[in-house]
Amino acid sequence: MYIILVYQGGENMNKIQTTCNYCSLACNMDFYVEDNKIKKVIPTEKYPVNKGFSCIKGLNLDKQLTSGDFPKNPLLKTENGREEISWERAYSFFSDKLKAIVEKHGKESVACISTGQLALEEMALVGHVFRNFVGGQLDGNTRLCMATSVVAHKQSFGFDAPPYTLNDLELSDTIIFTGANPVVAHPIIWDRVRKNKNKKVIVIDVRCSETAKNADYFFCIKPKSDIVLYYTIANYLIENNWIDNNYIEKYSENFDAFKEHVSKFSIDDIEEKVGITKDEFLTLAKLIHEGVAVSFWWTMGINQSYQAVRTAQSIINLAVMTGNMGRPGTGANSITGQCNAMGSRLFSNTTGLYGGGEYTDEAKRKIVGDALGLDPAIFPTKPTLPYNVIIEKIITGEIKALWILCTNPRHSWTNNTQFAEAIEKLDLFVVQDLYPNTDSSELADLFLPVVSGIEKEGTLINTERRISKLNPVIPKPEGSFSDFEVIYNVGKALGMGTLLDGWETPEAVFNKMVKVTKDTPCDMTGVSYKLLENGYGVQWPFKEGETLVDNERRLFENGEYYTPNKKVKFVFEDVAENPVPTNETYPYVLNTGRGTVGQWHTQTRTKEITYVNDSTSDNSYIYISKTLGEELGIESQDEVLVKSINGRSSKFLALTTDNLPHDVLYAPIHYIETNNLTLSIYDPYSKEPSYKYAPVSIEKI
Ligand SMILES: Nc1nc2c(c(=O)[nH]1)N[C@H]1C(S)=C(S)[C@@H](COP(=O)(O)OP(=O)(O)OC[C@H]3O[C@@H](n4cnc5c(=O)[nH]c(N)nc54)[C@H](O)[C@@H]3O)O[C@H]1N2
Ligand SMILES: Nc1nc2c(c(=O)[nH]1)N[C@H]1C(S)=C(S)[C@@H](COP(=O)(O)OP(=O)(O)OC[C@H]3O[C@@H](n4cnc5c(=O)[nH]c(N)nc54)[C@H](O)[C@@H]3O)O[C@H]1N2
Ligand code: SF4
Ligand SMILES: [Mo]
């Protein structure tokens, strides 16, 4: 629900279209501005993503205009607390210290963690400064979020390519959400689902989420049993010949081995291993079989696990074997989280070359070098150390400096107290954020303040591969800087000299990045700032010389994938044993995720939205089933102590609910107490944390 106050503006009223930089929909919003003051905000009516609708966060982007309330200058930690210093001093402090550390301990002793919430140009530039020039480690918070899908896509499709267009939600007759709660996390996705009058919605989750409540079918499974469920469905469909043999034969490889693998998964085990009845299983299998256009959507319930990549691929395998790929309303569709996670995956220069190639591919190094006017020798020769290893190496003392941009790991990192312990060991910790008072900013030796998304320029790539433009709605205050400018100036202070030639503006960097995509799956050579301005956004691929006929495009329509033989690969593995299961002392599973539509991650920005702040709890809270509450004598609003198998404990207010199974607790991620309890367990391939499963106990205080 939202209310728009219609304001009759004066003659000087300007309409500026820009992109919401919260979630991965990247909705467009029209800002009406007069005398540099925002008068009203209306979701862009013609924009193909949100079509005139938005959530409360997009309508309140202007609430992050905090520049007036906080110091515009950097803050340096001194013996007497934090001191405001000039930008010149900040840049020389930062560069001197970083260079000294590199000199003494080597390039690999410095690290940077970026995000999926900066503009593509900013990510590319930080990659140029920190990976190409400094030679340090650089990972992103996308590791906490999309790394699983990236690896799954690469191994199965041959490239990190989410295949769908959002319109598929309106064209699908059978929409299956696994480990995704779009009613809360992607309200525009849910809006698109509601516009589809001809659909059945199926939710597979470990609790009755807001989306499950609104679905036609809900299957409540045991935590992390998705892979067993999907392998068993595959086997059942094969046994009944409810598969698309033609599609499998023409467009896929490795099916026979997959068939052999899943033959071990019997419907007789479904109740014990997955927690649904045989009847429920048969209903689900039949729905998949009978659907003409079945689409499979997943998010963090799948990506965050100790066996996440193979679970995501168990979904991909099912879509492929039933021929639900490349046609309208189908697909194995991973939903992205942050506004520019897709941009960070392709252009951050962290796990591969700009535009999605391998660092070891000599031909690709030359192409990227030529496009950027750089000697390829400057590019890293191997992917960065992943986030978890960066933290581990800080703890062991091997990494001495850390620069983080646009992320708040003291709160969001798994087993987050370990992050605080790691920071203690650093010689240099630099935080670049809107706010000096986030849980991470407060620990910084040097804090670099920047302006918010509506005061800067760049591009974002959303969940359906749509590139859109971020435009400054109002000018930034005198003496304040954007991320792009700060990163550029850090590069300059470090002595990059001519290596920064041609990297001066976001548009120049965008044009460079577009060039490196030539003839790749994500070819964007036909995209320019001019094309994006006041437009509809453009989905990649879009090549130079092409004319945009359809602005809703899906991949793999011709059955050709990006693997060397153009076939999609069935990838699978034995089901892994849970490395840290529940036991007698820690008998319950702590599940974590989004709380409400209005709350964004660590709440730094959404706390500023009055409606959100007034309607959500200041205290951390945890949901517990009514039956378990009765057993343990816990009632709603009781204070409880939750102890984790990781050795730490947090206090919460308990809220009892009918929406949880007896043994599962649910805590929103928006409170720092939650990640105090999560584990340092990761998927072996993607290194994404297993955030949604921690054995815990709970008691009334
Ligand atoms: N309001 C709001 N919106 C957001 C965000 C936000 O912070 N606030 N964050 C954005 C970001 S970055 C992301 S990544 C997305 C996340 O979007 P979602 O992934 O949809 O959100 P989550 O709440 O993390 O998790 C989704 C569901 O996974 C379920 N789940 C947990 N374990 C399992 C399991 O083993 N199997 C199955 N099948 N389900 C399981 C949880 O119960 C939960 O209902 O949201 C984006 N949108
Ligand atoms: N237990 C548990 N933990 C989780 C998850 C979970 O499901 N369960 N989900 C994980 C996922 S999917 C994600 S994506 C992460 C998110 O984790 P974070 O990225 O740490 O969360 P945010 O609150 O989005 O942090 C963004 C920071 O950037 C700042 N900021 C905003 N705009 C700008 C800008 O333009 N420039 C700069 N420099 N700073 C800016 C904000 O003030 C904020 O401090 O959390 C992860 N943590
Ligand atoms: S749905 Fe996502 S992109 Fe759209 S307005 Fe809300 S937060 Fe912004
Ligand atoms: Mo995310």
Average pLDDT score over residue span 454-483: 96
The pLDDT value given to residue 12: 78
Give pLDDT tens digits for 662-701. 999 999 999 999 999 999 999 999 999 999 999 999 999 9
DSSP SS3 for 228: helix
Residue 67 has pLDDT above 70, yes or no: no
More confident residue, 69 or 44: 44
User: What is the C-alpha to C-alpha distance for residues 1 and 659, in angstroms, rounded to an integer?
Assistant: 23
Task: Write the single-letter amino acid at 178.
Answer: T
The CA–CA distances, whole Å, from 655 to 233, 311, 622, 629, 692 equal 35, 31, 6, 9, 19
- Domains of the chain in start order, with CATH, are 14-69 (2.20.25.90), 75-145+339-539 (3.40.50.740), 163-335 (3.40.228.10), 588-700 (2.40.40.20)
The pLDDT value given to residue 3: 47
In ligand 3, the atom with minimum distance to the C-alpha of 23 is: 2
Helices (H), 443-572: 483-493, 506-516, 529-532
Cα 349 to ligand 1 centre (Å): 27
Read off the pLDDT band of 95 (50, 70, 90).
very high
Burial level of 135, CB count in 10 A (0-12/13-18/19+)?
A: middle
Give pLDDT tens digits for 312-339. 999 999 999 999 999 999 999 999 999 9
Residue 7 has pLDDT above 70, yes or no: no
Reference 27, options 565, 466, 418, 387; nearest CA is: 466
The pLDDT value given to residue 166: 98
Tokens 């990510």 belong to 123
User: What is the C-alpha to C-alpha distance for residues 256 and 234, in angstroms, rounded to an integer?
Assistant: 12
Q: Is 438 in the pocket of ligand 2 (CB under 6 A)?
A: yes
Q: Is 452 in the pocket of ligand 2 (CB under 6 A)?
A: yes
- Of the listed ligands, the closest to the CA of 140 is 2
In ligand 2, the atom with minimum distance to the C-alpha of 674 is: 1
Average pLDDT score over residue span 117-138: 98
Q: Is 204 in the pocket of ligand 2 (CB under 6 A)?
A: no
Q: Is 126 in the pocket of ligand 2 (CB under 6 A)?
A: no
The pLDDT value given to residue 125: 98
Give pLDDT tens digits for 287-303. 999 999 999 999 999 99
By DSSP bridging, strand 401-405 and strand 110-114 are parallel
Average pLDDT of the chain to the nearest whole number: 96
- Of the listed ligands, the closest to the CA of 65 is 2
CB neighbour list of residue 245: distance below 8 Å, 6 or more residues apart: none
The pLDDT value given to residue 64: 82
CA 130, 386, 352 angle in degrees (round to 5)? Answer: 60
Average pLDDT score over residue span 215-222: 98
Cα 338 to ligand 3 centre (Å): 10
CA 551, 556, 558 angle in degrees (round to 5)? Answer: 100
User: What is the C-alpha to C-alpha distance for residues 437 and 443, in angstroms, rounded to an integer?
Assistant: 9
- Residues linked to residue 16 through DSSP beta bridges, in sequence order: 31
Cβ count near 328 (within 10 Å): 17
Tokens 């998010």 belong to 299
Q: Extract the runs of DSSP E, i.e. beta strands, from 182-277.
A: 200-205, 217-220, 252-253
- DSSP letter string, 301-348: HHHSSTTHHHHHHHHHHHHHHTT-SSSTT-EEEEPP-BTTHHHHHHHS
The pLDDT value given to residue 502: 97
- Of the listed ligands, the closest to the CA of 578 is 1
Q: Are 145 and 463 in contact (CB under 8 A)?
A: no
Cα 334 to ligand 3 centre (Å): 17
User: What is the C-alpha to C-alpha distance for residues 328 and 3, in angstroms, rounded to an integer?
Assistant: 34
Indicate whether this model's pTM tops 0.95.
Answer: yes
Task: Write the single-letter amino acid at 119.
Answer: A
Q: Are 204 and 219 in contact (CB under 8 A)?
A: yes
Reference 296, options 174, 206, 198; nearest CA is: 174
Residue 8 has pLDDT above 70, yes or no: no
Reference 219, options 267, 258, 178, 163; nearest CA is: 178
Q: Are 177 and 213 in contact (CB under 8 A)?
A: no
Residue 2 has pLDDT above 90, yes or no: no
Reference 206, options 218, 215, 217, 214; nearest CA is: 218
Q: Is the CA virtual torsion 470, 472, 477, 479 positive or negative?
A: positive
Cα 338 to ligand 4 centre (Å): 6
Q: Extract the runs of DSSP E, i.e. beta strands, from 180-310.
A: 200-205, 217-220, 252-253, 294-298
Over pLDDT 70: what percentage of the chain? Answer: 98
Locate 582 and state its tokens. 């529940």
Q: Quick one: residue 534, left, alpha or beta (phi over 0 = left, psi -120 to 50 = alpha)?
A: left
Helices (H) and strands (E) in the chain, counts: 26, 26
Q: Which of 300, 406, 412 to mutate to test the pocket of ligand 1 (most atoms within 8 A of CB)?
A: 300
